[in-house]
Amino acid sequence: MTKQITEAIRQTDVLMECDVLVVGGGPAGIGAAIGAAKAGAKTIILERYGFLGGNITVCSVEPPSWYRQEKTTMPGGAAKEIEDRMIALNAVKPVAFRPSTGLSYDTEIYKVMADDYMADNGVTPLYHCMGVTPYMEGNVVRGVITESKSGRCAILAKRVVDSTGDADLIARSGAPTLKGDPVTGRLQGGTLKFFLNNVDIDKIEEVMDRDPESRHPYTHKLLYEPFKAAEEAGEPPLRYSANTMFYTCIEPDEININLATYDKEIDGTDVLSLTRSEIRLRKEALEVLRRLRLYGEGFENAKLRNFVTSVGIRETRRIVGGYTLTTKDIYERGRFEDTIGIFPVYADGEGVKEIPFTDAYFQVPYRILVPQGVENLLAAGRCISGERSAVPTTRQMDFCMVTGQAAGAACALSIRQDVAVRDVDIPKLQKELVRQGLRVF
């Protein structure tokens, strides 16, 4: 493998050069590109699909902060700028069916908004391009080898942010990573979201009105009903399903369905596993639709409008960083000298749900972005260094965006200060992030 990579680099054309290269254009990557560019770095954001947004646009996760309540303390920064831009574009709606001060985004308009957001901040996007492996001299990253329709190329960069979600580059640099449960290796399930149209939304509202509990953010009691009824009628349990639904955004006759497919066997770092999952989840979604039409009120004439672009991944690798964020840090409102942002005390993941009804928040330490044993490379997003039990918090998009914005700004500052990313001047980084509109303390 090493021999093949060395050979490949020798034969590689240099496609582009920059100060900061951000690999992966999800919430973390968007944050990183903005953080770097606002701090004065010549920045490229590279994305394998033809648009930015990560799970927001790839999986139509429309309400990134549906959990937000009146008192919730939010981190500000890029996430707030994006919300303002989406409001200005008239591309938001209230979150459906539950109390929330968060907004649902039109995820198609989000793609256009993200293009403009990059352009307005001087970031160069590169789409349809896969970041394959870091281009290294010893343990120092000098850029990234890419694959695209232009062939195998190198992009040279003074600093690189790995915002692939899966820590693809950090893992391939040889730095240590972990995956899933430390004992069983188990990962949170993946979901193929899908849209239904021809749905009688008024009837669903009526059904929900019959049981006020169903509108509580902790419970989706009525959303289990069609599946329960199917099993009571003798149908076998759905295999790749959480046996519940979670409606997110609605048009007058349309609904976006989450969770009704839930594949516990998927590994998002294994291409064969991803392929098998796409195939079985498409089948499962059709079975869900059949059961909804038969047993669910309001779905009698529902039709499949589309599957989202790709199965959504909730959890894969985590880096082993200079610090490991713990669940205690989250729930006991951790405070750190090297804080680079804040996030509400909120968690949502298999069996854990903590809605931020109060203003409690924790600080995010810089060291969770810094991988061990490799230079010029930082992590951002759901792959940062944390306990597995912290994933229900660290996978949240606004958290990912905070880590991205800090990683991008840290890269830019470390170039200016001519120091390694791990040695960046923390008070100066904090000052820069505050200047960029992030709440840091």
Ligand X SMILES: Cc1cc2nc3c(=O)[nH]c(=O)nc-3n(C[C@H](O)[C@H](O)[C@H](O)COP(=O)(O)OP(=O)(O)OC[C@H]3O[C@@H](n4cnc5c(N)ncnc54)[C@H](O)[C@@H]3O)c2cc1C
Cβ at position 45, least distance to ligand X in Å: 9
Q: Is 47 in the site for ligand X (CB under 6 A)?
A: yes
Determine the Cα–Cα distance for residues 383 and 399; give it in Å rounded to an integer.
11
Q: Is 164 in the site for ligand X (CB under 6 A)?
A: yes
Q: Is 392 in the site for ligand X (CB under 6 A)?
A: no
Cβ at position 400, least distance to ligand X in Å: 4
Q: Is 75 in the site for ligand X (CB under 6 A)?
A: no
415's tokens: 């170039």
Nearer to ligand X, 74 or 295 (CB): 74
Nearer to ligand X, 313 or 340 (CB): 313
Exposed / middle / buried, residue 101 (Cβ in 10 Å: 0-12, 13-18, 19+): middle
Question: Which 286-315 residues touch ligand X, going by CB under 6 A?
Answer: 312-314
Among 107, 133, 177, 191, binds ligand X (CB under 6 A): 191
Return the H-helix or E-strand segment holding 347. Answer: strand 347-349
Nearer to ligand X, 268 or 365 (CB): 268
Question: Which 124-163 residues touch ligand X, going by CB under 6 A?
Answer: 130-131, 163
Q: Is the dihedral of CA 260, 264, 269, 275 positive or negative?
A: negative
Q: Is 66 in the site for ligand X (CB under 6 A)?
A: yes
Q: Is 82 in the site for ligand X (CB under 6 A)?
A: no
Cβ at position 63, least distance to ligand X in Å: 6
Q: Is 280 in the site for ligand X (CB under 6 A)?
A: no
Q: Is 64 in the site for ligand X (CB under 6 A)?
A: yes
Among 54, 143, 217, 321, binds ligand X (CB under 6 A): 54
Q: Is 349 in the site for ligand X (CB under 6 A)?
A: no
Answer yes or no: are the C-beta atoms of 357 and 418 closer than 8 Å: no
Determine the Cα–Cα distance for residues 319 and 195; give it in Å rounded to an integer.
34
Q: Please enumerate, as own/partner, the contacts of 237-244 that have beta carbons within 8 Å and a separation of 24 or more.
A: 238/284, 238/287, 238/288, 238/291, 239/280, 239/284, 240/264, 240/265, 240/277, 240/280, 240/281, 240/284, 241/284, 241/288, 242/189, 244/220
Exposed / middle / buried, residue 64 (Cβ in 10 Å: 0-12, 13-18, 19+): buried
Nearer to ligand X, 294 or 320 (CB): 320
Among 33, 46, 79, 281, binds ligand X (CB under 6 A): 46
Residue 228 phi/psi, 5-degree rounding, is -65, -45
DSSP string, 214-259: GGSTT--HHHHHHHHHHHHTTPPPPSSS-S--EEEEEETTEEEEES
Determine the Cα–Cα distance for residues 48 and 128; give it in Å rounded to an integer.
5
Q: Is 24 in the site for ligand X (CB under 6 A)?
A: yes
Q: Is 344 in the site for ligand X (CB under 6 A)?
A: no
Q: Is 189 in the site for ligand X (CB under 6 A)?
A: no
Q: Which amino acid is residue 95, in one-letter code?
A: V
347-349 and 303-307: which strand pairing? unpaired
Among 37, 59, 103, 136, binds ligand X (CB under 6 A): 59
Determine the Cα–Cα distance for residues 133 and 174; give it in Å rounded to an integer.
10
Q: Is 396 in the site for ligand X (CB under 6 A)?
A: yes
| Total of chain residues touching ligand X, rule CB under 6 A | 37
Cβ at position 427, least distance to ligand X in Å: 27
Cβ at position 259, least distance to ligand X in Å: 7
254-258 and 246-251: which strand pairing? antiparallel
Residue ranges in contact with ligand X by CB under 6 A: 23-29, 46-49, 54-55, 58-59, 61, 63-64, 66, 130-131, 163-165, 168, 191, 193, 258, 312-314, 381-382, 395-397, 400
